Amino acid sequence: MDALQALQIACDAAYAYQTLEAKFSKVPGYLQPMEGFCLYWLGKNWPVHGANLEVGSFKGRSTSWFAAGCKAGNRGKVHAVDHFAGSPEHQIGKEFQDEDIVRLGSTLPAFKENLTRNELLNEVEIRVGKSMDAVRGWDKPIRMIFIDGDHSYEESKKDFDAWSEFVVPSGLVLFHDINVWPGVTKFFQELTAPNDVWRQVGQILSIAIVQRMQ
C-alpha cells in the first residue's frame, strides 16, 4: 500500500465516522462514538465469515453502528438478542431509570423506531427474549459478538459461555464497559489470563476485544 492509498483509506474512515456519529448520536444509549465506530469498522472489515451477534440492544445505538458496518461490508445482518425489558439499572427507582421502561415496560418500540429512522431495520434480525433462551437451537458459526447485556459477573459469564462456542477461529468477541462496571470487568480479566483459546487484541475506550485463536 502506498501513501496515497493509505491517505484515501484514512479519509474514507474519517468521513464515515463524521457522518454516522451525527446520525447515531441521536439514538439513546451509553455507547461512545469512538466505540460505535469500532463496531462499524470491525463489522465492515473483519476478514472472517459467519453471523454477527449482539447481546443487549437497548434502544439501538450500538445496533445501528454494528449493522451499518455489516451492511457496508456486505457481511450479512446483525442478530440482536434482547428481552427489551431493560437492565437492572433501568428499572423504576434505579440509578438509570428509563422512561420507556416506566411507561411501556419495553424498549422494543423505541428500538424499532430508531432503526427505521436510520434505514437499518432490514439489516437486523431481532430476537426478542433472554440470551439463554435465544441460544437454544442456534447452530450458525459466528464471526463477531458484541456483549452488552446485564453487566454482572454471573450474567456476563453466562452470555459468553453460551455464545462463544459458535465463534469461528480468528473470530472476535467484544465486551462493553470494561473498567466501568466491576462484574463484566472481573470476568474479562479472568478470560484474558494466559490461555490457548482467547487473547486480547485491542481496546477502544471501554470496549475490549478478544480473538479466538483456535
Catalytic site residues? Answer: 151
Return the number of other C-beta atoms located less than 10 Å from residue 50's C-beta: 18
Which string of b and e fits 133-165 if b means at least 16 CB within 10 Å?
ebbeebeeebbbbbbbbbbbbebbbbbbebbbe
Whole-angstrom distance, CA of residue 85 vs CA of residue 194: 36
DSSP 62-114: HHHHHHHHHHHTT---EEEEE-SS--GGGSTTSTT--HHHHHHS-SHHHHHHH
DSSP characters over 18-29: HHHHHHHTTS-S
